[in-house]
């Protein structure tokens, strides 16, 4: 599965104006989705029980979002 490319691509500026997104390094769309999912998962955790399983679940959500995105 693709990581979706950059979540926030920066337009390339040329003499003729903006042309295409630059594939700059940074957070990928998949990572962005996982971060959003993790934020939701942790928002309901009153005991502060953060562990690797939270991250695994967040990436499962992110992968499903990537599949539905097409």
pLDDT bin (cut points 50, 70, 90) of residue 47 is low
In percent, how much of the chain has pLDDT > 70?
73
CB neighbours of residue 35 within 10 Å? 14
Higher pLDDT among residues 52 and 19, named by residue: 52
- Note the pLDDT of residue 62: 96
* Contact in structure between 12 and 22 (CB atoms under 8 Å): yes
On the question of pLDDT at 56 being above 90, the answer is: yes
The model's pTM is 0.71
E strands, the chain, where?
A: 10-14, 17-22
Instruction: Over range 41-48, report the average pLDDT.
Output: 77
């Amino acid at each position: 599965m693709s990581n979706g490319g950059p979540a926030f691509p920066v337009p390339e500026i040329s003499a003729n104006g903006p042309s295409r997104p630059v594939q700059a390094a940074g957070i990928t769309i998949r990572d962005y989705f996982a971060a959003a999912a993790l934020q939701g998962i942790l928002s309901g955790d009153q005991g502060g029980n953060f562990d690797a399983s939270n991250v695994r679940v967040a990436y499962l959500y992110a992968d499903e979002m990537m599949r539905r995105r097409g």
